Structure 1
Amino acid sequence: KPSEKHPGYYEFQANPNGATFSAFHPKRDSARADVPFDAKIAVKTTRTRDRDSGWTVEGRIPWNDFLRTGGRPAIDEEWRFTVCRWDAGGDVREAELSTFAPLKDKNPHRFEDYVGLRFVGNDGANAVKPYGIARRTPLTTSKVVGSPDPPFPFRVRQTFTKLKVPNPVGIAHEPGTDRLLLIHQLGSDRPGRILRIKDDPNVTEAEEFLMPDDIVYGVAFHPDYARNGYIFVGSSGPVKAAGKDKKVRVTRYTVDRKPPYKILPDSGKVIIDWHSNGHNGGDVAFGNDGMLYVTSGDGTSDSDTDLAGQDLTRLLAKVLRIDVDHPDPGKEYSVPKDNPFVGEKDVRPETWAYGFRNPWRIHVDRKTGDVWVGQNGQDTWEQVYLIKKGANYGWSVMEGGHPFYLNRKAGPHPFSPPLVDHPHSEMRSITGGVVYRGKEFPEIEGAYLYGDYSTGRIWGVRHKDGKVTWNKELVKSPLQITGFGTDSRGEVIIADYGSGYYRLEATPKDQPTAKFPLKLSETGLFTSVKGHQMEPGMIPYSVNAPLWSDGAHKERWLGLPGADSHIDFTRNRGWNFPDLTVVVKSFALEMEEGKPDSRKWIETRLLTRQQGEWIGYSYVWNDEQTDATLVESRGADREYVIKTADGERKQKWHY
């Protein structure tokens, strides 16, 4: 029983047959918690076939097993414990309890009767150090700062800084007003909420606009919102429902046309819904044609296990197009007569396009009517689509424009590629955006802006007749981008799941930038590049399971900036390093097979953490082994000639 501050306690068991058991009890007389343990318990017996003469138990319990009650004890902290033994078998009719604690009855769970165990520490004279260095020398010489590439044309600046809005996922301008709707989540597996604020960067108050029992994805205002007050909300829920009972739905609410313009009670009306528990879609937008466009995902969390992507009989994995102004009898919508599959057998007529995995954001360009969708890819690619009537975008036979499961049954229509495919080296979780029609940045007028949740990057793309004419990275940020919207002036606002809302601003032309080291000798990490001698602040390390790397010899170092920085441990994502950390790995090849003294350095790789993001660079060594030069971002290939017992062989190396 480690702590008086926590009601929980632990139980560890072993028997002579080697069976072991570990448990955490949140409180006495409650069910034990189903939690993992790293405790190691071993049993050794001294026996013959007909006689047991004794057994011993040894155990090792790491401190992290006790994190639920405070973790590792402080010096002079006292815990309570007992060791018990149950004897049974032979002539014993009832198990007998032996214990060295004065338990008042035969109940090993009476922790108030346990004996004390005080942790006194040690004098350090014979202590085994749990680390490899007695004192860390700070790394103060590193010049690995910034980027070898020119600065991006834009950067982000936080807005609405006087508001605290947890987990933002979207933003929308309320037509005809100076008000904005902020969509956010209250937390993991908790409902979403829509707030309403004045479009003012210094706003201090937010009005609670809508709080359904769903996770909210997006909103769309009816084209005649000023008169009818209709707002359409895409969501998934109920939050607490079992997976098989969750639905994605589009609900119409009515906003009172009289001040204070609140949503009318009981005005919510479900327009369309379908079962989905994974890639949900659920975003909504009105087209310039007055029709409502709705996204749906494949309904699962990985690899389209339900094979919905090419299935035209379901509403999943599609962009839907419905008419909410002229509903059919008994429904809240009708199918437009010009939808591409109206009248076809075994096809949901609401379908406008299909073959989607997880479309995350839909947008309609008010000037051109173009319908844009950003989509989260699977293993390798992220996609941007310019949606065309009746198109099949391939999932899950294809991943964007690339093969995925070619053995799966395809739909009856040819595959259409995305307008843009991004490899995971550039983006890993695309968030669809908006076409820029503001006044502040004429250089990106008409460009579709989109971002990425995992990398924080923002790109822009333009097209002509469905062909890309311009595609450029505009911003590199630390944001977890979940949505884009525009304010009352048409300027872009970005939702960051981690910290709030941001605007674009131009990068100052005269902003000073650090000169990024183009040679290894300029990095400040070496006292001698020729001798491959590192600065004292660089810590050598090894890994438990090194990769083979084509037989190359490798050496590794780690540098933390300054004297006060440290590495944090996180239970979910491993180690957390401070910004400006540098990790170095150098590769050497034996120029004569089997002779370590013939090794030559061929590559040194740097990983550096800046603005919360890890970035990698590679340097290729010269033949003289005196320095190495930065490799361009597109990479490089080089061939080396290795002497062997049979002559020589060529080894290709990719940088």
Structure 2
Amino acid sequence: MRSLLTLSLVAGCTGLTGPAWALSPTLVGSGFDQPLFLTAPIGDSRLFVVEKTGRIQVMQGGSVSTYLDLSGLVDATDERGLLGLAFDPQFASNGRFYVDYIDKTTLNTVVAAYTAPSAASNTANPGSAQLILSVAQIPGQTNHKAGWIGFRATDPGQLYIATGDGGDSNNPSGSAQDIHNNLGKILRVTPLAGGGYSIPAGNPFAGATAGNDEIWAYGLRNPYRNSVDRQTGDFWIADVGQDAREEIDFESAATAGGRNYGWRAREGSIDNPNVADPAPPGAVDPFFDYPHGSMGGTVIGGYVYRGSGEAGLDGSYFFGDFNSGKIFSLRNSGGVVAEFTERTAELGTPFGGFTLTSFGEDGLGNLYMMGLDGNVYRFANAVPEPASWALLAGGLLLGAAWRRSRRPLR
């Protein structure tokens, strides 16, 4: 755990820089309808782009098609929508993948499994849905839905699910600290082949221990975009703050479950100035946090770079900010932040304030960034160079009211 002095120095000194690299951003797709995520199975050259309104688009060579259309099931109001996608570790043999969305009928979080006819197919079977789990949301609240889902190579078969605290300022429901509520948490479950799930060994509240069996970590506000280092299995959690600070939490692959990240009593590395709650005993400070200001005010979590195009960047964690459109990188050097660097100028990022929505990682380890304008860019000199990834423009509906709100991830 780092001292608040270290946190403040690192967060406040945006002049601290590491080596500069020719990151060479390349436009690979445009015309998407509010893209919120991008991923692919390990080793797969295709790109799978998640649109907030309910479609998963697949890009291969020069063609683009709809892999799965869930728009009839998804409520995309405010921070609701189709929010997460993860491919089963055995996707090559079972064609199975998972989605996280807000259901149009119940307005609750749904995590469901779907299958494709084969791993190579560019169309999934919409009739193959199997409910894995659902999480009850707070009636009337449209924000803080998080929605990231993913696997860790070092923890085979266990699906991690990020849930926000359910919405409203300063978590009046107290869900984030309530270990009998699955909101404001990282959940960890074993999806079953026929739907549903079992509880993995090692979950901190499993069995007779008080607390929901599914919970892995708690005390989170809106962990909207997270990632797993494909090489080490380390887990990076980017939790959107309230009015004061943005935080990035780090769990090594060896970290046991049960961490409490402190919300709502804590916001980043400080006591939440809006509530009188005492800090929870044992609450874990973020690995890195920054005050609202020149860096922005809504963190967008990214990835540790493991591509082959820029060997000197290997191990650097990239992240950004929705409010400012700025992009940064840092390293974890023995539990201490190293080489904190602003990368905005190097990337020549076109994302101004309130536009950057997500980062993505393809099946080869190359990194991407995307925004509300519907554009997707690859950066860090991808290898190999994919041929002609241009999505035909058109059908771009950004949702002007959503963008005008200026706080879609708050």
Q: CA deviation at 1:248?
A: 1.0
Structure 2 residue aligned with 1:230, among 75, 96, 101? 96
**How far apart are the structure 1 equivalents of 2:57 and 2:228?**
23
**How far apart are the structure 1 equivalents of 2:226 and 2:307?**
19
Structure 2 unaligned runs (5+)?
A: 1-14, 75-80, 382-399, 405-410
Runs of 4+ in 1 over 6 A off after TM superposition: 148-152, 570-574
**How far apart are the structure 1 equivalents of 2:402 and 2:249?**
33
User: Is the Cα–Cα contact under 8 Å of residues 16 and 341 in structure 2 kept in the other structure?
Assistant: no
**How far apart are the structure 1 equivalents of 2:336 and 2:120?**
47
**How far apart are the structure 2 equivalents of 1:410 and 1:235?**
32
Match of residue 276 from structure 2: 407
Q: When the two structures are superposed, what TM-score results if normalisation uses the length of structure 1?
A: 0.49
**How far apart are the structure 2 equivalents of 1:455 and 1:366?**
28
- The within-5 A match list for 1:73-472 is 153=21, 157-161=25-29, 163-185=30-52, 191-198=53-60, 200=61, 203=62, 205-212=63-70, 213-214=73-74, 215-238=81-104, 241=105, 245-257=106-118, 260-276=121-137, 277=141, 278-288=143-153, 289-290=155-156, 291-325=158-192, 332-387=196-251, 388=255, 389-404=257-272, 405=274, 407-408=276-277, 413-425=281-293, 426-472=295-341
Higher RCO (C-alpha under 8 Å, 6+ residues apart): 2
Larger Cα-atom Rg: 1
- Aligned CA-pair RMSD: 2.8
Q: CA deviation at 1:471?
A: 2.0
User: Is the Cα–Cα contact under 8 Å of residues 145 and 166 in structure 2 kept in the other structure?
Assistant: yes
SS at match of 2:312: helix
**How far apart are the structure 2 equivalents of 1:395 and 1:407?**
12
Identical pairs, percent = 30
Q: CA deviation at 1:175?
A: 3.7
Amino acid of the structure 2 residue aligned with 1:319: I
**How far apart are the structure 2 equivalents of 1:493 and 1:573?**
21
Match of residue 538 from structure 1: none
Once the two structures are superposed, what CA deviation does each residue of 1:482-532 show, in whole Å capped at 9, x if it has no partner? 1111234321111112241112258xxxxxxxxxxxxxxxxxxxxxxxxxx
Number of residue-to-residue matches in the alignment: 345
SS at match of 1:267: strand
The worse-fitting range, judged by mean Cα deviation, of 214-223 and 331-340 is 331-340
Amino acid of the structure 1 residue aligned with 2:98: F
Match of residue 63 from structure 1: none
Once the two structures are superposed, what CA deviation does each residue of 1:572-605 show, in whole Å capped at 9, x if it has no partner? 999xxxxxxxxxxxxxxxxxxxxxxxxxxxxxxx
**How far apart are the structure 1 equivalents of 2:125 and 2:300?**
32
Structure 1 unaligned runs (5+)?
A: 1-147, 186-190, 507-569, 575-655
User: Is the Cα–Cα contact under 8 Å of residues 228 and 234 in structure 2 kept in the other structure?
Assistant: yes
User: Is the Cα–Cα contact under 8 Å of residues 249 and 282 in structure 1 kept in the other structure?
Assistant: no
Cα 1:268/1:420, change in 2 over 3 Å: same
User: Is the Cα–Cα contact under 8 Å of residues 166 and 500 in structure 1 kept in the other structure?
Assistant: no
Q: CA deviation at 1:423?
A: 1.1
Amino acid of the structure 1 residue aligned with 2:172: T
Once the two structures are superposed, what CA deviation does each residue of 1:207-250 show, in whole Å capped at 9, x if it has no partner? 11111121211211111110011101111121xx5xxx411111
Q: CA deviation at 1:468?
A: 2.0
Match of residue 388 from structure 2: none
Q: CA deviation at 1:176?
A: 4.1
Q: CA deviation at 1:410?
A: 5.8
Amino acid of the structure 2 residue aligned with 1:347: G
Amino acid of the structure 1 residue aligned with 2:31: K
SS at match of 2:175: coil
